[in-house]
Chain A
Amino acid sequence: MRLTNRFELKRWARTTASAALGAGLMGLLATAAVEADPPDCPIAITACGCVISQTGTYTAANDLSASQTSEPNCIEIAAAHSILNLKGVKVLGNNAGIGILIDRKATSVIVEGGDEADGSPQAVVSQWNIGIEDDADGAIIEAFNAIGGLALLPSGHTPGNVTGGVLLKAVENSIIGDFVASYNGKFGVKLVKSSMVHIANATTQKNGDVGIRLDASNSNRIGPATTAGNANLGNWLLTSSHNLIHDLPGATGNGNTGILIGCGLKTKNCPGNERSDRNRVINSGAPGNAKAGIVIRKHSESNLVTVNHNDGNGGKQMDMVDENNKCDSNVWYNNTGQGNQACIQ
């Protein structure tokens, strides 16, 4: 077990210490007790392994690396309303930990990869377990050249993050935009139990599983965005309802399906408790995927799919698939591509 959140680590240490006392395992207690808090970050950050514990504006002064510290994460943000600008540097991990972690109580934080001025470089965050993790409400995360790997010409890419580019856990009202999250081991962006989040101006390509994944996350907005060439899915809404996908025409070239609403494709006859309802997919498109364009799985209802281009997917009549009898209460109208039922238009 590797604990990457500082507060989780302390909790684990306390729990382990209690158990150790009860069992007389003083050696284990000693091991747990030596875990120290990372030092406070200076205003100009020169090395990984610090925590922003006071509100202010912080900038990176040079490239940052996991090799500079024994802490699991590069920079943690524990102070609400803080600003961190990475000024176009590289933040490189050792295939564990988190590049930038926004702690639960650090609300309304801004994390930016570079300056707005024309031609300013934007940061790269890669080779961590998770590139950027937001556990707090109201964050703004913007302007990253890569939260993952970078494509190399004429072929290949630099390494991404082991699991994912951006992870949002139980947050409300965060914005993540103007970034590329590609070549990560599993996902480009994942929301877990999060709501009212904006994902805008995002590119998530060639991730090991899915471009953008929502788990138990409701009332979020995604778009404009591109989710292409991911190994399995472009977008997946799992037990997630009331979300809006708009201006996402490039859910294309994925290994299985462009946009999946409902339970996973490995599950036959989705159980009713894994439904994704009342989502809207508008002015988007899922063409040219290996199997299917847009799929609504069984028991997911009252979704709307309109004004989408979904031609040329691999499966027969698989550009648009609704597994519910006569689409149930799902509405498919004014899309291009072939559907598996007459109710799909």
Chain B
Amino acid sequence: MPAPAAAKPKPGSCAKTITACGCVIDQPGIYTAANDLSASQTTQSNCIEIAPKGSGAILNLMGVKVLGNDDGTGIGILIRKDAVDVIVEGGLESNNTPPQNPVGSPPESSMFAKVNLWDVGIEDDGDRAVIVLFADIGGSLLGGAGPVTPKGNATAGVFLNGVKGSFVGDFNANFNSKFGVIMKGSSDVTLANFTAASNHDTGVRLESSDQNSIGPAGASSNTNDGMLLLDSSRNTIHDSNGNSFNGNTGIMLACGSGDLCPLADGSSENRIVNAGAPANSVAGIVINLGNLRNTVTLTNNHDNGGPNDMIDLNPDCDHNTWYNNVGTGNQNCVQ
């Protein structure tokens, strides 16, 4: 009979100045990274965890790299459930001159942290976190433009898991193997001033997540969709003009249970305002069958590859409102 595997030791408490992966922040206070951090420095799954007893803690990565093993495992920064009011920042505001603008150009700064080659770059399971100032939570073109596509995190750059009231801003989440940002069961979250581009599935994916705000933002050149809302209602997408060049659709509202929405779990009462989804391979904005009472207005959606820029699969748009948008629609009610 083989001996049982030895239990992995619990991670030790992080020092105020963090020099290696594999520790947990379990007291409030201000913690900073002193040097680049790597999964190779520890046997722990994750680099830095913030525990409930560390609620209110501040972690500033001071522009370092936080790199995983590139084997699809682990989390770069994990804010555990019940670790509330945590702040995670990638650098100093004094280096943010001019202020970083991921939606504009250039999108990246070498002064802010990079979190890459994990399964998930940053996972927030705690309410009211603030996560800001990251050059890359995923792969980067900075200083390495060439024929090789940069590699990101295996599942996602940022994962918000059952949280309320968190703010994630000022970051790039590009070149991840699935998602730039994914939200599950989360509400009242704000995603602002970010780019989720060239991810190998979807730029921003919301699952069963309501009352969130997205924008300003851009989700371009993702393999599938720019932004996908599944079973997610009362969200606002605003000032998000760059949902372009995605392999399928710029912005899609869909049911969690599939195209025919058998479980009536649609994405409803969402508002897409002052945004745009032009030049995607198939369509700009799509509202699938069973997704109702959404409003799409003041969006620019020209030059998508399919027969229509804007598609509502509900008969006569049901109770969706499309008004004052640019692009072709699949029904007269799509204007």
A contact set with B: CB distance below 8 Å: 57, 81, 83, 85, 108, 110, 112, 115-118, 140, 142-143, 173, 175, 177-178, 196, 198, 200-201, 219, 221, 223-224, 244, 246-247, 249, 280, 282-283, 285, 304, 306-309, 331, 333-336
Asked if B170 is an interface residue, CB under 8 A from chain A, the answer is yes
Asked if B110 is an interface residue, CB under 8 A from chain A, the answer is no
The count of chain B contact residues (Cβ–Cβ below 8 Å) is 44
Can you show 8 pairs from A to B with CB atoms below 8 A apart?
A110-B295, A175-B236, A198-B238, A223-B192, A285-B99, A304-B130, A331-B58, A334-B89
Best-buried of A200, A219, A307 by chain B (most CB within 10 Å)? A307
Q: Identify which of B68-76, B280-288, B297-305 touches chain A.
A: B297-305
**Are B92 and A175 in contact (CB-based, < 8 A)?**
no
Task: Find chain A residues with CB under 8 A from B169 CB.
Answer: 246-247, 282-283
Checking B130, B211, B297 against A282 with a beta-carbon cut-off of 8 angstroms, the contacting residue is B130
- Alpha-carbon separation in the docked complex, A246 to B299 (Å): 22
Shortest CB distance A307–B (Å): 5
**Are A249 and B99 in contact (CB-based, < 8 A)?**
yes
B contact set with A: CB distance below 8 Å: 30, 56, 58, 60, 85, 87, 89, 92-94, 96-97, 99, 130, 132-133, 167, 169-170, 188, 190, 192-193, 211, 213, 215-216, 234, 236, 238-239, 271, 273-274, 295, 297-300, 321, 323-326
**A-B pairs with CB below 8 Å: how many?**
122
Chain B: CB-nearest residue to A304: B130
Checking A115, A282, A334 against B167 with a beta-carbon cut-off of 8 angstroms, the contacting residue is A282
**Are A334 and B93 in contact (CB-based, < 8 A)?**
yes
Shortest CB distance B199–A (Å): 23
**Are A142 and B298 in contact (CB-based, < 8 A)?**
yes
Checking B193, B215, B299, B321 against A110 with a beta-carbon cut-off of 8 angstroms, the contacting residue is B321
**Are A244 and B190 in contact (CB-based, < 8 A)?**
yes
Known: A140-B271, A140-B273, A283-B193. A177 touches B130 (CB 8 A): no
**Are A177 and B213 in contact (CB-based, < 8 A)?**
no
Checking B30, B93, B216, B300 against A308 with a beta-carbon cut-off of 8 angstroms, the contacting residue is B93
New A-B pairs, 14, CB < 8 Å, besides A116-B325, A175-B273, A309-B93: A85-B324, A115-B324, A116-B299, A118-B326, A140-B297, A142-B274, A143-B274, A177-B238, A201-B216, A221-B190, A224-B239, A280-B130, A306-B89, A309-B99
Shortest CB distance B120–A (Å): 23
Shortest CB distance A305–B (Å): 11
Task: Find chain B residues with CB under 8 A from A83 CB.
Answer: 321, 323
Task: Find chain A residues with CB under 8 A from B92 CB.
Answer: 334
Task: Find chain B residues with CB under 8 A from A249 CB.
Answer: 99
Chain A: CB-nearest residue to B300: A116
Chain A: CB-nearest residue to B100: A283
Task: Find chain A residues with CB under 8 A from B94 CB.
Answer: 336
Chain A: CB-nearest residue to B234: A173
Task: Find chain A residues with CB under 8 A from B99 CB.
Answer: 249, 283, 285, 309
Task: Find chain B residues with CB under 8 A from A333 CB.
Answer: 30, 58, 87, 89
Task: Find chain B residues with CB under 8 A from A282 CB.
Answer: 130, 132, 167, 169
Shortest CB distance A227–B (Å): 16
Shortest CB distance B61–A (Å): 12
Checking B192, B234, B274, B325 against A177 with a beta-carbon cut-off of 8 angstroms, the contacting residue is B274
**Are A244 and B298 in contact (CB-based, < 8 A)?**
no
Checking B30, B87, B297 against A112 with a beta-carbon cut-off of 8 angstroms, the contacting residue is B297
Q: Which 5 A-B pairs have the closest CB atoms?
A: A334-B93, A307-B93, A116-B324, A116-B298, A200-B238
- Alpha-carbon separation in the docked complex, A117 to B297 (Å): 12
Task: Find chain A residues with CB under 8 A from B297 CB.
Answer: 110, 112, 116, 140, 142
Shortest CB distance B209–A (Å): 16
Checking A112, A115, A198, A283 against B132 with a beta-carbon cut-off of 8 angstroms, the contacting residue is A283
Chain A: CB-nearest residue to B295: A140
Task: Find chain A residues with CB under 8 A from B323 CB.
Answer: 57, 83, 110, 112
Task: Find chain B residues with CB under 8 A from A308 CB.
Answer: 93
Task: Find chain B residues with CB under 8 A from A116 CB.
Answer: 297-300, 324-326
- Alpha-carbon separation in the docked complex, A118 to B93 (Å): 36
**Are A175 and B271 in contact (CB-based, < 8 A)?**
yes
Known: A244-B190, A282-B169, A283-B99. A201 touches B239 (CB 8 A): yes
Chain A: CB-nearest residue to B215: A200
Chain A: CB-nearest residue to B216: A224
Task: Find chain B residues with CB under 8 A from A110 CB.
Answer: 295, 297, 321, 323
Task: Find chain A residues with CB under 8 A from B298 CB.
Answer: 112, 116, 142-143, 178
**Are B93 and A177 in contact (CB-based, < 8 A)?**
no
